[in-house]
Structure 1
Amino acid sequence: MNQAEILERIREIFQENFEIEPSRVTPEAHLFEELDLDSIDAVDLAIKLQELTGRRIKPEEFKSVRTVGDVIAAVESLLAPQA
């Protein structure tokens, strides 16, 4: 999955779960300030990303996620072959 495909899936997740217009979900968009997610939404997002990737997200890794671009990077690292 490339970055554009990941962004498209993230947009679908945001629309289905948080009722956020896909056009607002850009790599630069800040999850908490611009997209109005709260900590419970962040947990829901982490669960959806686990479903998407089939891999568990470590809470300490997800704490540094602030923007949609950070989410894309996290998904990319989860999808990368494990050493």
Structure 2
Amino acid sequence: MTDKEIIVKINGFLVEEFEVEEEKIQPDANLKETLDLDSLDYVDLVVVIEDAFGFKVVPEDFMTIVTFSDFYAYAQSKVAEKEAA
């Protein structure tokens, strides 16, 4: 899966599952503020990520994710690890 495909997939489920306006999804935008997530929404987000990409999300990893770019990079690295295994 290419980096672009990962970004398109992430943006797609953010719009569909979390009802985020697509134009608000910008690489340097703050993920938490833009998505307006509470703790239960984070659980839902983790489930959607795991289902969409087939890797296990470590909750501590989310501590380092601030922007959409961070989120994309995280997913891209996990997908690359999975594909290399």
| C-alpha separation in 2, matches of 1:33 and 1:54 | 26
Partner of 2:26: 26
RMSD, matched Cα? 1.7
Query: Are 2:67 and 1:70 aligned?
Result: no
**TM-score normalized by structure 2?**
0.81
* Between structures 1 and 2, the one with greater helix share: 2
- Identity of aligned pairs, percent? 37
Query: Are 2:10 and 1:10 aligned?
Result: yes
TM superposition outliers: structure 1 runs of 4+ over 3 Å:
none
Partner of 2:55: 55
Q: Give 1:58 shift.
A: 0.9
Instruction: Sort the Cα spacing of 1:40 and 1:66 in 2 relative to 1 into closer, same or farther, 3 A.
Output: farther
Residues paired across the two proteins, number: 83
**TM-score normalized by structure 1?**
0.83
Partner of 1:80: 80
CA deviation profile, 1:18-77 (whole Å, cap 9, x unmatched): 111112112112112233222222221111111121110111112221211111111111
| C-alpha separation in 1, matches of 2:28 and 2:43 | 20
Show structure 1 runs of 5+ residues with no match: none
Superposed, which structure 2 residues align to 1:31-42 within 5 Å?
Answer: 31-42=31-42
